[in-house]
Amino acid sequence: MDIKKVTKMFRGRVDIRSYEVSKFIAKGGVKIEHDGQYMILSPDQLKKGEVMTKNLRSKFNDQTYDLHSYIWKPINENQGQLI
């Protein structure tokens, strides 16, 4: 599982680029960190991300990507996790 640090949120959602989503699915999920909090997305949850913006072009190369949006639901440290 990889870690993705996100610095921006928009309307309670975090965005991940499509090529990163594919990489995180292959690695078994991702831990998303924002402002000292985090949430974990499984491969199934990653596949269900809403595509909000399509065909964006990278500033650094000719690669295009879509933005997958996920509702920000940080894990509460005071609450135990289910096994």
The model's confidence at residue 57, banded by pLDDT at 50, 70 and 90, is confident
Domain boundaries, the chain: 2-71
Model pLDDT, residue 38: 94
- Please check whether residue 22 is in contact with residue 2, taking contact to mean a CB–CB distance below 8 angstroms: no
- pLDDT above 80 (res 7): yes
Residues 68 and 28: their CA atoms lie apart, in Å, by 17
Model pLDDT, residue 80: 60
**Position of tokens 């996790």?**
81
Cβ atoms < 10 Å from Cβ of 46: 20
- pLDDT above 80 (res 13): yes
User: DSSP label at 80?
Assistant: P
pLDDT in tens, 63-81: 899 999 999 999 876 666 5
